[in-house]
Amino acid sequence: MPDVKVRKFLVSVEEIHHEGGPVADVPPRRGAVLAVIENPYAGAFHADIQPFMEDLKPLGLEMARKLLAAMGGEPKSIEGYGKGSIVGEAGELEHAALWHAPGGYSMREVLGGAKAIVPSTKKVGGPGTRLDVPVTHVDASYVRSHFDAIEVGIPDAPRANEMVMALVMTTGPRVHARAGGLAAKDIKGEDGLR
């Protein structure tokens, strides 16, 4: 099994006081953790790539813990999440899909059980590529106030033989959420949707 070789991590946290409306009593936070890793399958077609999914699980956990710590360390404070991946030019979009299991399960484990599917996005791109990582509520995908996205990227990554793996979390709704729909207080919490 290939090793996971990390070149760098990037952690960012935004604290939003307002967006033209009333200043929030507790400013919501939006955070991201990115890892730049070597793509073991770059440069050639490999039919069997699934073993790397297992290898990525410890990295996913490490990233989820790093991000939670940067967000204040309290699992219950996390209300939204998402994940994404950028594959360098010698790789293939399918390599980004390897993040599906390790990225999602690591956040659920660190957050102590979250019911909703982790929304995701992926692309192939060069260094500095930006990725808009979608965000939805951790327990009910349809909560409208928590639909959001966090733009991430690293100036010097991914190089051709690298991949950027991303996890994102939020501590609340959009700062001035007022577009109606299912509210967080009305979540039933049975199916991960409503």
Partner 1 sequence: MKAKIRKIMTVVDETLNEQGQEVSPPIRRAAAIAVIANPFAGTYQEDLAELIDVGEELGALLAERAVAALGIAGDKVESYGKAAAVGENGELEHAAAILHPKLGAPFRKVLGKGAALIPSSKKRGGMGVVLDIPLGHKDAAFVRSHFDGMEVRVTDAPRANEIMVAVAVTTGGRPLPRVGGLKVSEIKGEDGLR
The SS3 of residue 55 is helix
Contact 93, 49 (CB under 8 A): no
Is residue 121 a contact point for partner 1 (CB under 8 A)?
Answer: no
Distance CA 125, CA 121 (A): 13
Distances (CA, A) of 8 to 81, 90, 100, 158: 22, 19, 21, 11
Q: How far is the CB of 77 from partner 1 (least distance, A)?
A: 17
Is residue 17 a contact point for partner 1 (CB under 8 A)?
Answer: yes
Is residue 5 a contact point for partner 1 (CB under 8 A)?
Answer: yes
Contact 168, 138 (CB under 8 A): no
Out of 70, 97, 101, 184, the residue judged to bind partner 1 by CB under 8 A: 70
The interface region with partner 1, picked from 2-10, 74-82, 109-117, 119-127 by CB under 8 A, is: 2-10
Letters for 23-62 (x = contact with partner 1 by CB under 8 A, - = none) are ----x-----------------------------------
Amino acid identity for residue 53 in this structure: M
Q: How far is the CB of 186 from partner 1 (least distance, A)?
A: 28
Is residue 16 a contact point for partner 1 (CB under 8 A)?
Answer: yes
Is residue 188 a contact point for partner 1 (CB under 8 A)?
Answer: no
The interface region with partner 1, picked from 6-14, 49-57, 79-87, 90-98 by CB under 8 A, is: 6-14
The interface region with partner 1, picked from 42-50, 100-108, 149-157, 182-190 by CB under 8 A, is: 149-157
Distance CA 107, CA 136 (A): 13
Query: By rule CB under 8 A, what count of residues binds partner 1?
Result: 20
CA angle 73, 62, 53 (to 5 degrees): 140
Out of 15, 54, 186, 190, the residue judged to bind partner 1 by CB under 8 A: 15
Out of 13, 183, 184, 193, the residue judged to bind partner 1 by CB under 8 A: 13
Distance CA 176, CA 191 (A): 27
Among the listed residues 171, 179, 188, 146, the one whose alpha carbon sits nearest the alpha carbon of residue 27: 171
Q: Which is nearer to partner 1, 16 or 61 (CB)?
A: 16
162-170 and 148-152 beta bridge pairing: unpaired
